Amino acid sequence: MKILMLTWEYPPRIVGGIARVVHDLSKRLIKDGHEVTVVTYRDNTNVPEYENDKGVNVYRVDNYMIHPNNFIDWIMQLNFNLVSKATEIINKEGGFDVIHAHDWLVTYAAKTLKNAYNIPIVATIHATEAGRNSGIHDETQRYINDTEWLLTYEATEVIVNSNFMKNDIHRLFGLPFEKINVIPNGINLSNFTGIERDYDFRRQYAMDNEKIILYVG
């Protein structure tokens, strides 16, 4: 399967959790035999516009030189550039089987490409504007909330990482429950290979043969 990932962050650009999820998911999909192309934003001229990241084709776009009025305008300008780059790739290398859109920040690019090339969208909602702000309190937040709804409406399937998020976006956007898929974020245990345990610290909480569950939330 040929997969087009749309995201506003990908390593080395890390704003929040999306970059890490897209990076690790893309590598896993490559390992499973799929072709993955990521189109993302380039915030540093020292980062290449294109690289093959161990099998993942990563294309980075700049935003317009003109200064936007606000963050919403900046995101809209970025979406134009994401569409332009994805169109260039499709015209050169052929179409994709699916678009995987990550959060509201790439909604308009995903919708435009869906309609132009008849490519289905799978959307991952990493967080919601209402969740980040304990509700919607101003027009900017309302715009983002409505854009999140639009992405979930246009998507064939929606992915969230917990049952809490599933219930939350079902409540917020009125999505059919069966359209929302819970796929918890994975952990690559090999990242911890070779790290020595601090047993003196650990023994303050458990015996050597006991497991510890750490929760941050």
Give a yes or no: residue 62 inside a domain. yes
- pLDDT at position 194 is 86
Report whether the peptide linkage leading into residue 184 is cis, meaning its omega lies within 30 degrees of zero: no
Bridge partners (DSSP) of residue 37 are: 4, 57
Give a yes or no: residue 196 inside a domain. no
- Residue 129 belongs to domain spanning: 2-191
Give a yes or no: residue 150 inside a domain. yes
- Rounded to two decimals, the pTM is 0.89
Contact 125, 103 (CB under 8 A): yes
**Exposed/middle/buried for residue 163 (C-beta within 10 Å: 0-12, 13-18, 19+):** exposed
Tens of pLDDT along 58-71? 999 999 999 999 99
Give a yes or no: residue 215 inside a domain. no
Give a yes or no: residue 52 inside a domain. yes
Give a yes or no: residue 185 inside a domain. yes
Say how many domains are in the chain.
Answer: 1
Bridge partners (DSSP) of residue 40 are: 60
Q: Provide the CATH number for the domain around residue 79.
A: 3.40.50.2000
The 10 Å CB-count burial string (b at 16+, else e) for 39-70 is bbbbeeeeeeeeeeeeebbbbbbebeeeeeee
Q: Mean pLDDT across the stretch 36-58?
A: 95
Among the ranges given (74-78, 121-125, 188-192), the one the predictor scored with the smallest mean pLDDT: 188-192
For residue 128, pLDDT beyond 90: yes
